Structure 1
Amino acid sequence: MWLPLGLVLLAAEALAVKRHDFKTCDQSGFCKRGRALASRAKEAASTWKSPYSVDPSSVAISAQKSTFTASVLSSLYPEIKFELDVRAHADGTFRVRMDEVDGLRKRYDETSKWALVREPTLSETITWKQTKKEIKAVNTKSGVELKVQFEPLRVALLRNGKEEVVINGKGLLHMEHFRLKDEEPTPPVEGQAQDDSQTVLQPPVNPTAWFEGEQAAVWDETFGGQTDTKPRGPQSLSLDINFPTHGHIYGIPEHATRLDLPTTTGENAKYSDPYRLYNLDVFEYEADSEMALYGAVPLVHAHGVHSTVGVFNAIGSETWVDVGHPSTESTETQWISESGILDVFLLPGPTPEDVFRQYARLTGTPVMPRHFALAYHQCRWNYISSSDVREVQSRFDADDIPFDVLWLDIEYAPNHKYFIWNEKTFPDPVPMFNDVAAYGRKMVVIIDPHLKKDNDYPVYKSASEKGLLVKPSSGQGEYDGWCWPGSSAWVDYFNLASWDWWQGLFKVDGNNGDWHWKDSTTDVFIWNDMNEPSVFNGPEITMPKTNLHFDGWEHRDVHNINGMLFQNATSQAVKYRTDPPQRPFVLSRAFFAGSQRFGAVWTGDNLGTWEHMAIGVPMVLSNGIAGITFSGADVGGFFGNPDIEMLVRWYQVGAFAPFFRAHAHIDTKRREPFLLSEPHKSMVRDIIRLRYSLLPVWYTAFRYSSVSGVPVLRPQYTVFPNDPKGFSLDEQYFIGNSGLLVKPVTAPGVTQTTVYLAEAQPYYDYFTGHIYRGKRSGVEVTVPAALHEIPLLIRGGSIVPTRERPRRSSALMKKDPFTLRIALDAAEEASGDLYLDDGDSYLYEAGELVWRRFNAAKSGKSTFKITSEDLVAINNGQNVVDGAIVPVSGPNAFKESVSAVRVEKIVVYGLKAKPSKITLANGGEVEWDFVAGTSAKSGEGVASALTMRDPAVRITEDWSIEITL
């Protein structure tokens, strides 16, 4: 359809972020000051010197030899004292802290309290060696060394003598101390270094004098017609962290950009602003941008051919991160935060898996989800009534399309009073829930953090009476902001008294006389949206930084942590609805370091465009790098009406993300799969069914992740860390350790695509068995990718367990038999794992589980053997996963409950010849057929395929099948 140019431009403008609603670095006083400091340092070049130094006489090493403290002096502020605290952990990580001592006020230092599970065990083997110029610790076992230089202060992590992480190497460390507003600015000073060898261009005493001819707001700061009065004054922290031998950097989600973070400084910068970490409700965000989005995790991985290292900067305030690449083999970053202390964890690796584990020991491993949560979720804003809900379920069933979860957005609640039902449209919520649950399905209901200020609303009335709400800057009364219900208040989850109260609301069977959600059931789970927090009339559509939380901390100190606490509190509330507790499912939009412990996230309000579909893939990968592995993007896009090609492709993308949900805006056309015409309805049905058949793969991958911290989706560089060709790849990825390699199609008109193979191994098309072969130097292969085709390969050497019988929901698959796809590698071997538990409870923590390993290998010159063994048994009663150990003890009733589940089919790809005999260990016979083709050791082509039908082996038992060629 032809449209006038004016209408086209108007439509494009309508579907675009309003950038003027959000600050740039130049409009943020502390970011502008921090960047100006970097500019002055660059201009001064070798004459620049950091003003911070360690007093050698103050160094105090602990009796355990694992930590030391020292006084830090500043030539800028001789009267201001700082303390350095360095700790060595048993796992090889280091923690570097610096705080103001006896200042005018206390800086916020509680970020780690909320983010960390615990600080790792301190090292018992580290020895500190001090000289006049430095103090250092050497781990002789790993070759890692930490060196703290005294003058100027400089911290470096070295491996085998080479610096890999350097803090304050560029001299950009600057901690603005608390001061009174009437202090006069001091002009920039030019002085001499202590050894009189060079001129020193020092930053001025007062940051307002950092600029020639312009000022950056230090006290009052106005943006968008609203003024931040900064009653406590400037308190920002600038810090440079550099990676001299690592040319690639990943992490600091959430941003709509590539996994390998583009440069933000210098002539070749992709973005003119730093990456911003500040949880915001960014309506219709751009598909290629450095702008802040809904989550913020201050973690980066730096990678090179020799090692991977990580840095976790435990700070919860607004933070900007500049990324530069002075060479292809090095990376420089500057972190500029509005408040907080210096609290940096150095993660030495040296492999990507090591860094994942080291970070997981700090902030926790991803939650082990409910099994249903990995299936397909159907959502829109809004299913308008209980009859609508029943109709949607009926239409899915009529067209044999499986789904597990049906969602309700905000319109179920009258005047957006969450927990309350609109009696006209949802007159029978509990019967509605029970009707959905009859097919093994669940429902998710949205609960947002804002409470309508109405004393007839029992949730608000109770919170107000108990004093559990966020306060304005005066400290009196309750903060009043505007959100979906109109005038609203926000629960202060930094006040631990709010947690018990919140938990009581979710009880479905009484609450000691207090109001509770009786119109609910334990088959209802929760969606936490708008928890950045989003405030429609607030600065940058969020809460004023001067608002006060428990203990008098300003919102500016804790903004990025706020949304995580809301999800945490809700997760606990859902968990303890029952006795014994059941695993919760809670989806959150906002997140911070540690959010992986509490549930899933999604990438927010994306657009129904090809660009947004494409960028969603690296966004989900980036979340996983930072621990937030249970994530996904709205299938079809939240805004807009995707055409049928885009919608089919988006289902393919979604089916290979950890969190698989279709969602749409209230103004979009209905696009549930059953509404599609043929052949596209069948295409989407097949995609969803494929997700269900692969649920054993996803569940096993999540179990590994929940133990080790390694993400469910593994980018190319994490699987092949020594192959530079894969370091920037973010369009293809592996699912756990299953050997499945997927490259979703995210562009229109595609009929074939290329997949990069990094190794000299066969890769098999999942659907046809066609062999593609890599080379030692890596090679791109062309694979078919018509609209009905998904580029999905099995890495040679893998065994993939699936369940192939179509069902209405995953709950109905629990006793279904398994199929094993065995893809032989060049050595004609393969292995794979399968993890099972009841999918709901915490009994797996006591050993109520099944964890099997399947192997295929030569057992003689012309014989193969396929075996199944118990991972628990072969590890002496321990579950050993990627180096992590989980004790197992007690009875295993779950294993008994699935003891009859069998393997109904085994397919072996890549055998070199037709078998002459196949026998079970007990002498039983196996029905089989063989299709000749290419072997694992030969060239490309359709692989030979041996199919064994119903070999009469149980999934819980040890067994073997011998193949004689």
Structure 2
Amino acid sequence: MRALSSLLVLVAVPAALAVKTQDFKTCTQAAFCRRGRALSARAQENPSWSSPYSIDPSTISVLPGQASFTAGVKSLLYPDVKFGLDVRVHKDGVVRVRMDEVNGLRKHYDEAASWALIAEPDISPEIKWSVGKSDVRAVYGDKKDIEVVVAFQPLKVTLLRDGKEQVVLNGRGLLHMEHFRTKESAEEKLPVEQPQGDDSQVVMQVNSRAWFEGETEDGYWEEQFGSWTDTKPKGPESLSIDISFPNHGHVYGIPQHATRLSLPTTTGENAFYSEPYRLYNADVFEYLADSTMSLYGSIPVMHAHSAASTVAIFNAVGSETWIDVAHPTPRSTETHWISESGILDVFLMPGSTPADVFGQYTRLTGTPALPAHWALAYHQCRWNYVSSDDVRDVQRRFDLEDMPVDVFWLDIEYAEEHKYFIWDKKYFPDPVDMTRDVEAVGRKMVVIVDPHLKRAASYPVYQEAQERGVLVKSPGGSNDYEGWCWSGSAAWVDGFNPESWDWWTSLFKTAPQGDKWTWTESTVDTYIWNDMNEPSVFNGPEISMPRDNVHYGGWEHRDVHNINGMLFHNMTFQALKARSDPPKRPFVLTRSFYAGSQRFGAMWTGDNLGTWEHMAVGVRMVLANNIGGFSFAGSDVGGFFGNPEPEMLVRWYEVGIFSPFFRAHAHIDTKRREPYLLDEPYKGIIRSLLRLRYSMLPVWYTAFREASVTGLPVLRPHYVAFPHDEAGFALDDQYFVGSSGLLVKPICEKGATETSVYLPDDQVYYDYFNHYAYRGAAKGKHVTVPAELEKVPLLIRGGSIISTRERPRRSSPLMKYDPFTLRVALNAAGEAHGELYLDDGVTFSHQDGQFIWREFVATSDKKARGVRISSRNLAAQKPSEAVDGVALATYDIANSFVKEMLGVRVERVVVFGLASKPNKVQAGGRDLYWEFTPGVTASEKRQGTTSVLVVKDPDLSVTSDWEIVVQT
């Protein structure tokens, strides 16, 4: 839900509004961005441009036995201002580059990385730095193919592989860390030209700074935006750095933006956008479907990709940041990062594959949390279900129409006067009983808890926060900040204050805790939605908090703005985890996020519109979040605003069932659009789509297990799945689901009856529904596939085995003991592979080895002139890879969860592309019942309906090793 300029209780929400771009800054309206872009312009205009920053060789210190070195950095602009450089190589080859002002008047904010990283990375003990006359360098890697070079004058850091530049810092000379100064002692800058000649920098005088910084002090001490004045008591402190990828023509990441996946240019004559990409978590009402405007979250990680390699950078900065992207050639990329405050703290990830980069990044910031199994099912929400009876009626209607659903949501109207945790008893007189009714069939409740607290003596949560001193302060730091949000006059919890964490945890206890206020009118199966945590402030600048507000430690809000939302998300995650013993896996949805947020739950793309354009860009945004490490992502099905026609709503459900987070949501002014309200055939189509999502929950859960261990995303664009296929590098309207081999092409246009799907390799792809076989090509190929309204294009790549559960149930927990169907999609060699991961889906017992992890393999059997399909235990072979972040030294194949699941069987095996009709099909010497339909085989080079073998009820346990032999 989004913030409005006034409260719902005071002003009705207009039915049709549009983004008010005037509420949000452009680069030209942000002084530090203007300064950064002007710096870049001066560099481009001056052929002899050179960075004024250099290393003093006499200060270099290489620590014995450590892959790090430190050095002093000086700027010819300000000879008396000193900087310190720290460069280190981690055990996995990541290079960290830090630079900060030394002994300045104040301290630059340097804690962003501490919130993002899971731990301080281990430094490699094997790196040997070589200190030369002009640089420091080190060569490392298993093949000694990686080299990092730090040049002295001007300062430049280069990461190379096989002698080719991969990442270059300050190669264009745009590094500038504005030092702290006092307004009274600010020195006059003389407008002179940059000196020329080889010795120009040596003779450059202090008063010749204008060539680099500009002739005027632009917004150093105060800045106006609308009616707001940002006082900037610390003066200028922005950071500019150019980061180039000389051999990579595509860059991805830096979510969140409503743009293409492969990021278009923002500078130059042929720029696609005129504005840089902005990272500044903001509550943007009805955001544009194609824009570089900042949205709700910020992850400052960028992948750079070519057919030869993938590299990435993570820029650990928490303040507002603008990023220009340029492609000076089709195979190179230049970027310019301009941040309002903070230190230089950049991690260079050498790759060289997408999988390597995801591993390197998630070793820094953590892998996605393995969610509760039910959280991957269907969520039903709107602003608002208005009463306990309304919730019960919605549940009844889903059951009456035989539509599965796992979660019902309550928006802000459940809370009395928007005092979160406090039920409005006029409409919700029995919250616990209502929740128990939902839980009776395995379902859950999610309720909203926002970070603003109503300033009222009758609100115990606010009173305790005030008494404990854990609220954000106004400028100067002496008074609690007062702003305006849903609750009226409000205060904000300061998650940077360590005292706030235990207190916040105590609020979620469902049993009395002495004299502390606790949420006794909830259950341990009541989960949480954190909205408005950018933070959104209705009467604040850019619908947010003033930048000169003060957080714990004296840091200004400008320093920590983009981290703020993650802390609230983290606090709530920890609170839910601590409310039961043994703990259950939390589910917390967040709107605002930062690097590392993937450790704490799910996100959604905010207040989208019910339009085809927003449907399409939502797919790209979810893919971008997967690239940013945050796989548990989705967009509001149907669009938050508007009343989509039935065709659009059906298509949006087709998008939703193939999104990691699957929730329907709607604005308070929209018509009720629960799927059971539709007429036929639309209602029946959506029922089938919901059942399809539920049947494929094993695929999603297995993909999330892999993400929780390796960091590989749940949704994979083509450059991730096929990193050498250049034709797929810019694709962002189709994708693969994990390692399953499922290729999805959502339909996001009105009236479509067919679509073009790109097949990246010389392989057979089978239509999931009608078993039609399509053929790819060595250099990629587009094929036309049917896409009538009731059909989402879904292909299975040859060589894959898909595990599903086909019994319709009201909710996913009721499927726990249901049998499995295996779809074996043979490749041209008659082979296939797939995995299935299961655990209790609720607790953390999987971290103690309570799980099932099976591998299904189909191999060509020349002796039997057929195929062997087998099941084997992967966990016993790969115990260190089995669970999220926890390496098991041993794995007990007879663990208690396995024993509980002994009766769960494989009830059907479907084989696509078999070469000929079998003579017999056996398992353990038993003849099995089967049916065969002839058709195109996997090895043929033609398209058509494939052969299908259906093995019925082989009575094989999902927990044990077995083999099916198909003799032809």
How high is the TM-score relative to the length of structure 1?
0.97
State the one-letter code of the partner of 2:125. Answer: E
State the one-letter code of the partner of 1:594. Answer: G
**Residue 82 of structure 2 corresponds to residue 81 of structure 1:** yes
| Map 1:595-674 → 2, pairs under 5 A | 595-674=597-676
- 2:182 aligned partner: 180
CA offsets 1:461-511 (integer angstroms, 9 cap, x no match): 000011110000121120000000110000101011100000000000122
Percent identity at matched positions?
61
Cα distance, 1:209–1:67 mapped onto 2, change above 3 Å? closer
- 1:8 aligned partner: none
Deviation, 1:137, is: 0.6
- 1:915 aligned partner: 918
| Map 1:43-442 → 2, pairs under 5 A | 43-45=45-47, 47-142=48-143, 143-182=145-184, 183-192=186-195, 195-196=198-199, 210-211=213-214, 216-442=218-444
Deviation, 1:218, is: 1.4
Equivalents in 2 of 1:141, 1:738: separation in Å? 30
Check conservation: 2:809, 2:815, Cα contact below 8 A.
Answer: yes
Check conservation: 2:742, 2:796, Cα contact below 8 A.
Answer: yes
State the one-letter code of the partner of 2:99. Answer: M
Deviation, 1:181, is: 1.0
Deviation, 1:721, is: 0.3
State the one-letter code of the partner of 1:591. Answer: F
Equivalents in 1 of 2:601, 2:208: separation in Å? 45
Check conservation: 2:67, 2:88, Cα contact below 8 A.
Answer: yes
State the one-letter code of the partner of 2:896. Answer: A
Deviation, 1:197, is: 7.3
2:950 alignment partner, one of 923, 947, 952: 947
Equivalents in 2 of 1:878, 1:255: separation in Å? 36
Equivalents in 1 of 2:547, 2:417: separation in Å? 27
- 2:765 aligned partner: 763
State the one-letter code of the partner of 2:60. Answer: V
- Alignment length (residue pairs): 951
User: More displaced, 366-375 or 124-133?
Assistant: 124-133
Cα distance, 1:910–1:883 mapped onto 2, change above 3 Å? farther
| Map 1:542-621 → 2, pairs under 5 A | 542-621=544-623
- 2:902 aligned partner: 899
User: More displaced, 216-225 or 942-951?
Assistant: 216-225
Cα distance, 1:206–1:402 mapped onto 2, change above 3 Å? farther
Equivalents in 2 of 1:202, 1:404: separation in Å? 69
Equivalents in 2 of 1:709, 1:335: separation in Å? 26
Check conservation: 1:919, 1:962, Cα contact below 8 A.
Answer: yes
1:776 alignment partner, one of 775, 778, 786: 778
**Residue 478 of structure 2 corresponds to residue 476 of structure 1:** yes
Q: Secondary structure at the match of 2:328?
A: strand
Equivalents in 2 of 1:695, 1:654: separation in Å? 13
Check conservation: 1:185, 1:208, Cα contact below 8 A.
Answer: no
Deviation, 1:863, is: 2.6
Check conservation: 2:65, 2:126, Cα contact below 8 A.
Answer: no
Deviation, 1:580, is: 1.3
Equivalents in 1 of 2:885, 2:491: separation in Å? 46
- 1:508 aligned partner: 510
Q: Secondary structure at the match of 2:644?
A: coil
State the one-letter code of the partner of 1:719. Answer: A
Equivalents in 2 of 1:788, 1:461: separation in Å? 54
Equivalents in 2 of 1:844, 1:934: separation in Å? 42
Equivalents in 2 of 1:594, 1:204: separation in Å? 43
Check conservation: 1:763, 1:796, Cα contact below 8 A.
Answer: yes
Equivalents in 2 of 1:206, 1:226: separation in Å? 31
Unaligned residue ranges in structure 1 (runs of 5+): 1-10
- 2:10 aligned partner: none
State the one-letter code of the partner of 1:673. Answer: P
- 2:874 aligned partner: 871
Equivalents in 2 of 1:637, 1:751: separation in Å? 22
Equivalents in 2 of 1:710, 1:202: separation in Å? 51
- 2:964 aligned partner: 961
- 1:3 aligned partner: none
Equivalents in 1 of 2:191, 2:706: separation in Å? 55
Check conservation: 2:78, 2:206, Cα contact below 8 A.
Answer: no
Check conservation: 1:708, 1:884, Cα contact below 8 A.
Answer: no
Q: Secondary structure at the match of 1:776?
A: coil
Deviation, 1:119, is: 2.8
Cα distance, 1:762–1:148 mapped onto 2, change above 3 Å? same
CA offsets 1:622-674 (integer angstroms, 9 cap, x no match): 00101111000000000010111100000000110000000000000000001
Check conservation: 1:708, 1:881, Cα contact below 8 A.
Answer: no
Check conservation: 1:208, 1:218, Cα contact below 8 A.
Answer: no
State the one-letter code of the partner of 2:799. Answer: G
- 2:5 aligned partner: none
CA offsets 1:703-737 (integer angstroms, 9 cap, x no match): 00000111000110001100100000000000000
State the one-letter code of the partner of 1:93. Answer: V
Deviation, 1:405, is: 0.1
- Kindly report the root-mean-square deviation, in angstroms, between the aligned alpha carbons of the 2 structures: 1.8
Equivalents in 2 of 1:506, 1:586: separation in Å? 13
Cα distance, 1:901–1:349 mapped onto 2, change above 3 Å? same
Cα distance, 1:200–1:958 mapped onto 2, change above 3 Å? farther
CA offsets 1:193-214 (integer angstroms, 9 cap, x no match): 68337999999777899456x7
Check conservation: 2:151, 2:157, Cα contact below 8 A.
Answer: yes
Q: Secondary structure at the match of 1:502?
A: helix
Equivalents in 2 of 1:203, 1:35: separation in Å? 22
Equivalents in 1 of 2:643, 2:434: separation in Å? 29
Q: Secondary structure at the match of 1:78?
A: strand
Deviation, 1:187, is: 2.2
Cα distance, 1:400–1:571 mapped onto 2, change above 3 Å? same
- 1:38 aligned partner: 40
Check conservation: 1:135, 1:149, Cα contact below 8 A.
Answer: yes
1:854 alignment partner, one of 853, 856, 880: 856
Cα distance, 1:953–1:395 mapped onto 2, change above 3 Å? same
Equivalents in 2 of 1:202, 1:441: separation in Å? 71
Check conservation: 1:603, 1:616, Cα contact below 8 A.
Answer: yes
Equivalents in 1 of 2:578, 2:885: separation in Å? 31
Q: Secondary structure at the match of 1:59?
A: strand
- 1:6 aligned partner: none
| Map 1:628-777 → 2, pairs under 5 A | 628-777=630-779
Equivalents in 2 of 1:886, 1:311: separation in Å? 31
Equivalents in 2 of 1:598, 1:754: separation in Å? 37
Check conservation: 1:188, 1:202, Cα contact below 8 A.
Answer: no
- 2:8 aligned partner: none
Cα distance, 1:878–1:294 mapped onto 2, change above 3 Å? closer
- 1:7 aligned partner: none
Cα distance, 1:884–1:303 mapped onto 2, change above 3 Å? farther
Equivalents in 2 of 1:189, 1:393: separation in Å? 74
CA offsets 1:387-426 (integer angstroms, 9 cap, x no match): 0000000000000000000000000011100000011100
Equivalents in 2 of 1:298, 1:185: separation in Å? 35
Deviation, 1:111, is: 0.4
| Map 1:818-833 → 2, pairs under 5 A | 818-833=820-835
Check conservation: 1:185, 1:206, Cα contact below 8 A.
Answer: no
Q: Secondary structure at the match of 1:190?
A: coil
Q: Secondary structure at the match of 2:727?
A: helix
Check conservation: 1:189, 1:203, Cα contact below 8 A.
Answer: no
